[in-house]
Structures are given as structure tokens and as C-alpha cells.
Amino acid sequence: MHITLDRRPPAEIEADALIVPVFEDRRSDRFGAAEWHDSGEITGKPGEMTLLHRAPGSGAVRVLLAGAGPEAKFDPNGMRKLAGTAVRFLKAKSLKKIALLVESDDEFAAAAVEGALLGNFDPDRYRTGDRKQAESFTVVGNVSDDAVQRGRIVGEAQNFTRGLVNEPGNLLVPAKIAEAAGAMASAHGLDCETLDEAKMRELGMGALLGVAQGSAEPPVFVVIRYRPANPGAGGVHLGLVGKGVTFDTGGISIKPADGMEKMKYDMAGGATMIGAMQAIAQLKPAIPVTAFIPCVENMPGSRAQRPGDIVTALSGKTIEVINTDAEGRLILADALVYARRQGCTHLVDAATLTGAIVVALGHLRLGLFSNDDALRDRVLAASDAEGERAWPMPLDDDYKDYLKSAFADLANVGGRWGGAITAAMFLREFAETTPWVHLDIAGTAWLDEEKPHLAKGPTGLPVRTMIRLATDWK
């Protein structure tokens, strides 16, 4: 989708449709809306769409009056959803050239562009036949070019992540993630390194390699580096760690067949960090940022890891593998240690880690765990600002008791109770004292049913949170 800014008045804007937000508690008389308000055909409720043809005061062929809810509650996240909903409504009618009236707020302009790009995405790449897509989106208003460009950069990064997550497991094996990351890095001036199986074995990444050994597809470990010209923030080096399980059968502890096809999304955490790095390269934050993406396929082959196996992680800790379907924490353990050894002073990981977090929070909030209050608050502020809601979860020391093993330093699962917490507690053992946040995105990285503003399938959360976290760090 081509993104532009036009500061001319609406009467001079040429488009197939001009989107105009209307509020529940403010009667508007622009574009002939007054009579529709008075008749009760327009209420301004969120998601309401009223399409007018040849409306007075508009140069566009159509005006779409888009419900925005109460004006006092309308924020950039509301604008993002409104733009996405409107674009999806209009492109279903085969309209290609779309504009949206923003007036004069930069935050709203950026959110409108993000929403339009996100709404224009559909997971139907492999369907034959014509695809309904809008071709252009114009922000109409007295806003800055920088705001519109930021919205484009962030929206495209989130869609890049969604595209990766949407790829089926037979086409996006670990080596293909490395290729995609390398191509992105090359296009945007980032350094990208891929550790192969031999290098990981030489380093001693036994937890990661144990997961990978059941698959014919070799594992890879992708490292993407951004270095600012003049680093600030007192030596801060942010490490972004993402789980990259390209397909998760559960291994020997095999999953039920029902719903297993969705397990292609088990690399959403890794895709999040690759997408975030694409935007970070263009927005150029003041701090160095490095992404670490361990990529494996978890399969029940003849060489697969067995329940009861003991592996030695990069840190030297030994792990009893009780359940081979708790594989994400094993690959993240080695990734967190490697990130610390690469000089990262602060760590954030994202992973589709546990079904338990979905039981706790549903599909509405990310689960957030941390060993550091200051970093926790930074991530929460970024997620709130971006509308990617997170909820802080407990991480009390005595939860570690659930991970006791009679045969190794710790077990990889802690039993039935508090599953998301014990998974995070396992990871904390490898973050050690480095300030660290873990985001369990199992409930938010995928939509089982489409929403008015977003297609069914990968959401791209929490790409925006990672971008804001890096760019707001001064």
C-alpha cells in the first residue's frame, strides 16, 4: 500500500473514499452528516460505517462516516482500529484509493497509517485468484511528514512479522528464517550473523540442540545487530530474544491433532524481534539493540529428545527434560545466556510459551514477568502507549520449588499449577541478575476469528511495543 500525506482541504482530495471519524457525543454537520445524525441513522458508535456518495464538501467519490465512540475516549489506539476497520470495509467493496481525515494530531496520524496497513493485510497469500487490496492510503490533515513515515515504518514492520508467522511449516524451516532475517538486515543496513549447528555445539548450547535433534531440519541461531552512530543512555545495550520454533509437534510428548496446524505460529516471538529490528533500523534509536532468534523444529523423529533426558545448557546448568513439549524455554535459556555474553545490559524475550497464560489472561493481554521493576515499568509504558496490553504476573522466589529435580539442577516443567509462572521462573534462572522481561504471547500472537480491524491469523503483537521501548530509551 502506497502511503502519502495531503495537507489540502477535503474538497480538493481525490479518492475513491474519504474516511471521516464521527463521535457519539458530538453532532457533525460536515459532508451532509447532520441529517443522518438527526434521523438516528448515525450514532457514532465504534465500528459503525455509513457510506455516502458525492457528499457535499468532499472531493472524494464517497465519504465513509466511521464511528469513533465518545470523543473523550478516542485515542491513537482507537484511531488505529478505526482506520483498520474502515480500510477492510472499503477494500471489500473493491475500492483502491482511500484517504482519511486526521486534522492536526501527529500521534493520530501515525496510528491511522498503522491501522490502514494492518487492516489491508490478509493471510491469503497462497489462495489463487484475485485478492482485494487497497492500493493507496492518504492522510489528510495538517500533520508532519515524520509522523506519517513513522506510521508507515511501524505498520510495515508489523506486517512483515505477520507475513513470517503466516508461512506454513513446510516452507519456513529454520534456515528460511535465517534467509529472511539476512535479507531484511541487508536491505536496512543491519549486521546479521547466523550460528550453525556446529558453532552452537562448540559453544555448548545443549538445551537448544536437544530440542532440535529430532528434526531433519538443522537449527540456526540468528543474531541481528543495530549500532547507533552516537550511543546514548549510559551504556545501555538492549537485547531482544525471540522464540523461533518453526513448527511444534510437541516432540515425543506429542500434541493432540486438533489444532496442531496452528503450531506454525510457534515462531511468532522470533518473528516479532525480526520485524522490530526492521523498524529500529529506520527509526534509529539512541541505544544499541541486538536481536537473538534461536530457530528449531520440534519433531518426534528417531533421534528426538526423550522425557527424562538431561541436557547441559550454555550456562553450565543441567536440565531434566520432563516434557518435550516445553521446548521453547529450553531454546530461550541458551539464547538468554548468549545475549548476556554479547554484552546486553537489558533483556526482553517474547515467546508463544504456554497455554497456561491463555487460561489466565485469555486472548486480550500479554503476560509480563520480570526480575527488575524499572525495566518492567518501561515495557508496560510502551505496551500501554501502543495498545498492546500487558499484565504483570508474579514471579516469587518460592515458585522455583516447582522446578526441583532429583537428577539435575532443575526440571523443564513444574507440574499443573501456575504453568506460565513456572515457565517464566525457568527462564529467570538464565537471565540471572541482568534486568529482564519475559512476554508470554501465546494468547495474543494469533487471532482464531477475524476482527473488524484485523484479519484472522497472525497479529504481529508485540512488535510496536518493542519498537517504542527501543526508540523511547534516551
CATH of the domain at 273: 3.40.630.10
The answer to whether residues 358 and 365 touch, using CB atoms and an 8 Å cutoff, is no
Is the CB of residue 423 less than 8 Å from the CB of residue 358? no
Whether 210 is covered by a domain: the verdict is yes
Give the whole-angstrom CA distance, residue 169 versus residue 155.
25
Last residue of a domain, one of 142, 176, 208: 142
Element (H, E) at 4: strand 2-6
Residues 330 and 225 in one domain: yes
Residues in the chain: 474
Q: Is residue 150 part of a domain?
A: no
> Can you list the alpha helix ranges (DSSP code H) found in 222-355?
268-283, 328-341
**Domain assignment present for 448:** yes
Exposure on the CB side of residue 287, measured as CA atoms within 13 A = 22
Tell me the C-alpha distance between 396 and 3, whole Å.
47
Enzyme catalytic residues: 255, 329
- The grid coordinates listed for 336 are 538468554
SS (H, E, C) 375-393: HHHHHHHHHHHHCCCEEEC
Indicate whether 93 and 133 sit together in one domain: yes
Confidence at residue 474, expressed as pLDDT on a 0 to 100 scale: 83
Each residue of 350-393: pLDDT tens digit?
999 999 999 999 999 999 999 999 999 999 999 999 999 999 99
Of 83, 113, 142, which one is at a domain's C-terminal end? 142
| pLDDT at res. 54 | 87
In a domain, 147, yes or no: no
Q: What is the CATH number of the domain that holds 126?
A: 3.40.220.10
Q: Looking at the structure, do residues 226 and 364 belong to the same domain, yes or no?
A: yes
**Residue 17, in any domain of the structure:** yes
Residues 305 and 373 in one domain: yes
Q: Which of 465, 315, 441, 437 is nearest to 371 (CA)?
A: 437
Helix, strand or coil for residue 333? helix
455 and 334 within one domain: yes
Split into its structural domains, the chain has a count of: 2
**331 and 206 in a common domain:** yes
Here the cell at position 211 is: 530440542
Over its length of 474 residues, how does the chain's per-residue pLDDT go in tens digits?
Answer: 999 999 999 999 999 999 999 999 888 778 878 777 778 888 999 999 999 998 898 999 999 999 999 999 999 999 999 999 999 999 999 999 999 999 889 999 999 999 999 999 999 999 998 889 999 999 999 999 999 999 999 999 999 999 999 999 999 999 999 999 999 999 999 999 999 999 999 999 999 999 999 999 999 999 999 999 888 778 999 999 999 999 999 999 999 999 999 999 999 999 999 999 999 999 999 999 999 999 999 999 999 999 999 999 999 999 999 999 999 999 999 999 999 999 999 999 999 999 999 999 999 999 999 999 999 999 999 999 999 999 999 999 999 999 999 999 999 999 989 999 999 999 999 999 999 999 999 999 999 999 999 999 999 999 999 999 999 998
* Residue type (1 letter), 336: L
- The SS3 of residue 1 is coil
Do 170 and 253 fall within a single domain? yes
Is 151 inside any structural domain?
A: no
Per the CB < 8 A criterion, the answer to whether 207 and 314 are in contact is yes
| Residue 336 in domain | yes
- Residue pair 188/278 in contact by the 8 Å Cβ criterion: yes
| Dist. CA 386–CA 389, nearest whole Å | 8
Q: Are residues 105 and 190 in the same domain?
A: no
Domain that holds residue 409: 156-471
In a domain, 457, yes or no: yes
Domain termination residue (choose one: 142, 167, 183): 142
Same domain, 102 and 215: no
User: Both 98 and 178 in a single domain?
Assistant: no
Task: For residues 69 and 185, state if they share a domain.
Answer: no
- Cα 199 to Cα 211: distance, rounded to the nearest angstrom: 16
3-class DSSP assignment, residue 102: strand
Q: How many Cβ atoms are within 10 Å of 249's Cβ, its own excluded? A: 24
Contact 67, 78 (CB under 8 A): no
Tell whether 168 and 129 lie within a shared domain.
no
Q: Can you give the three-state secondary structure of 187-230, one letter per residue?
A: HHCCEEEEECHHHHHHHCCHHHHHHHCCCCCCCEEEEEEECCCC
